[in-house]
């Protein structure tokens, strides 16, 4: 059975879109529905690839606005860490379902996650119908079971997620270079090579992290990752705020993806943002991520793509830096092979969103500029992933239950 989207607009022209066997089978003015097709009436909405959230801790929806406006270490020590210590796999499941619901309602079709209880995350992804790369955070500094715990977590999560669901990909996520020691980083680097598995890591988020790295290891963070075998085309570097030119050249050479996380960096006052020059230097694959909701506090990439674009302009003192079309491509995962974004075209995965451009804030003007500078996720009407309709007319079938169950979990874990 095919799903056919009728009365859509693509690149300025009216089209029909036929989705069969998980791909876009046909797209054009002559594509119409047959009697046995399932039909979605786009009502003149614009069809686009979905947004790709390249850095999340999805279940942290449970900690939305929990300790906002506190200094970083007080926020972590008094609020986030104690509450995370109380989490169960059921909490992570419903927190992730809430995140998936919010992402669907703001046009995200795929995300790259790092969080505890990865099997619960994977179940939530499958049940919500999105695509995700799922990884447990790996930490061996200051933990009771050290290196053995790190190995058990990494191998256990890879085994548990192997063959789990076609929409779920297992990654490994050494949390950061200050929470995993050199022995741990080298072990994960060897595992990456052996299994050809994707890596997701926080890197070069604060100046203090860079200074400690130089003192402890005699090299900067990107060089350390490379020395440990962790820089490759399937490596996702979240933040990268303090990467210098030499490190950026190394990242480009290895083909690793740097994920802009502008809202979280601004809100936590990281002191700097992912260097703007990456936007101008071809060769560094780029992505956009929200980070966890505790430090954003939203998963709406239509908001964050605007912040990313205008922040690069502001920091470069140059409004021509990162034009709207480029910012949108980054947010759609089209500036990184690892993120898997493509244009909406025949042969592409059957993932798309329909955006209503007759909303007052999107009239008149250039589509890409409006999507980046004026739209929010509320403009998204319909979301389709792998040929399955997850939202139409802004209705997500089990939204009420997801919100209620996540709120119950949050209330339990936020109790002091």
| Residues in touch with Zn ion (CB under 5 A) | 291
Nearer to Zn ion, 58 or 331 (CB): 58
Nearer to Zn ion, 16 or 240 (CB): 240
Q: Angle between the 324-331 and 301-316 helix axes, to the nearest 10 degrees?
A: 130
Alpha-helical segments (H) within 162-240: 182-195, 207-217, 221-227
Work out how close the CB of 176 gets to Zn ion at its nearest, in angstroms, rounded to a whole number.
Answer: 9
Work out how close the CB of 292 gets to Zn ion at its nearest, in angstroms, rounded to a whole number.
Answer: 6
Q: Sign of the C-alpha dihedral, residues 283, 289, 295, 298?
A: positive
Nearer to Zn ion, 19 or 294 (CB): 294
Query: Residue 400 CA to chain centroid, in angstroms?
Result: 24
Nearer to Zn ion, 91 or 291 (CB): 291
Nearer to Zn ion, 268 or 309 (CB): 268
Work out how close the CB of 122 gets to Zn ion at its nearest, in angstroms, rounded to a whole number.
Answer: 19
Q: Taking the CB of residue 301, how many other CB atoms lie within 10 A of it?
A: 27
User: What's the token pair of residue 131?
Assistant: 């695509």
Residue nearest to Zn ion (CB): 291
Nearer to Zn ion, 17 or 213 (CB): 213
Query: Hey, what's the torsion of the CAs at 4, 7, 8, 13, to 10 degrees?
Result: 120
According to DSSP, the β-strands at 131-134 and 352-355 are unpaired
CB 169 within 8 A of CB 133: yes
Work out how close the CB of 210 gets to Zn ion at its nearest, in angstroms, rounded to a whole number.
Answer: 17
CB 230 within 8 A of CB 198: no
User: What's the token pair of residue 46?
Assistant: 């614009």
User: What's the token pair of residue 238?
Assistant: 């979240």
Under DSSP, the state recorded for 295 is G
Nearer to Zn ion, 243 or 391 (CB): 243
Work out how close the CB of 10 gets to Zn ion at its nearest, in angstroms, rounded to a whole number.
Answer: 34
**Polymer length in residues for the chain:** 416
Work out how close the CB of 193 gets to Zn ion at its nearest, in angstroms, rounded to a whole number.
Answer: 24
Beta bridge partners of 137: 173
Query: Residue 32 CA to chain centroid, in angstroms?
Result: 34
Work out how close the CB of 201 gets to Zn ion at its nearest, in angstroms, rounded to a whole number.
Answer: 10
């Amino acid at each position: 059975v095919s799903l056919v989207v009728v009365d859509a607009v693509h690149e300025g022209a009216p089209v029909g879109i036929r989705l069969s066997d998980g791909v876009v089978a046909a797209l054009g003015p002559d594509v119409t529905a047959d009697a046995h097709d399932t039909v979605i009436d786009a009502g003149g909405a614009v069809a686009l690839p979905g947004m790709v959230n390249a850095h999340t801790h999805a279940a942290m929806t449970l900690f939305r606005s929990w300790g906002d406006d506190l200094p970083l270490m007080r926020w972590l020590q008094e609020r986030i860490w104690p509450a995370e210590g109380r989490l169960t796999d059921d909490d992570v499941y419903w927190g992730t379902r809430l995140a998936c619901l919010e992402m669907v309602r703001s046009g995200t079709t795929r995300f790259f996650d790092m969080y505890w209880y990865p099997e619960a995350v994977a179940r939530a992804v499958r049940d919500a119908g999105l695509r995700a790369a799922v990884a447990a955070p790996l930490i061996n500094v200051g933990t009771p079971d050290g290196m053995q715990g790190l190995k058990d977590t990494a191998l256990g999560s890879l085994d548990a997620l192997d063959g789990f669901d076609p929409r779920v990909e297992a990654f490994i996520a050494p949390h950061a270079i200050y929470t995993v020691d050199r022995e741990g980083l080298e072990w994960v680097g060897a595992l990456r090579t052996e299994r050809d598995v994707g890596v997701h890591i926080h890197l070069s988020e604060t100046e203090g992290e860079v200074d400690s790295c130089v003192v402890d290891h005699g090299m900067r963070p990107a060089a350390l990752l490379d020395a440990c075998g962790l820089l490759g085309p399937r490596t996702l570097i979240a933040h990268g705020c303090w990467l210098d030119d030499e490190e950026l050249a190394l990242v480009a050479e290895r083909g690793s993806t740097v994920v802009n996380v502008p809202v979280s960096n601004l809100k936590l006052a990281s002191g700097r943002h992912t260097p703007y020059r990456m936007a101008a230097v071809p060769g560094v694959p780029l992505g956009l991520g929200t980070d966890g909701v505790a430090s954003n506090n939203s998963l709406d990439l239509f908001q964050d793509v605007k912040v990313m674009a205008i922040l690069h302009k502001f920091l470069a003192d140059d409004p021509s830096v990162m034009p709207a079309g480029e910012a949108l491509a980054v947010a759609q995962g089209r500036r990184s092979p690892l993120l898997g974004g493509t244009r909406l075209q025949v042969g592409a995965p059957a993932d798309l969103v329909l955006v209503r451009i007759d909303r007052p804030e999107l009239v008149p003007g250039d589509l890409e500029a409006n999507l980046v500078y004026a739209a929010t996720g509320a403009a998204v009407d319909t979301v389709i992933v792998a040929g399955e309709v997850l939202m139409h007319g802004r209705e997500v079938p089990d939204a009420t239950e997801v919100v209620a169950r996540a709120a119950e979990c949050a209330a339990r874990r936020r109790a002091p």
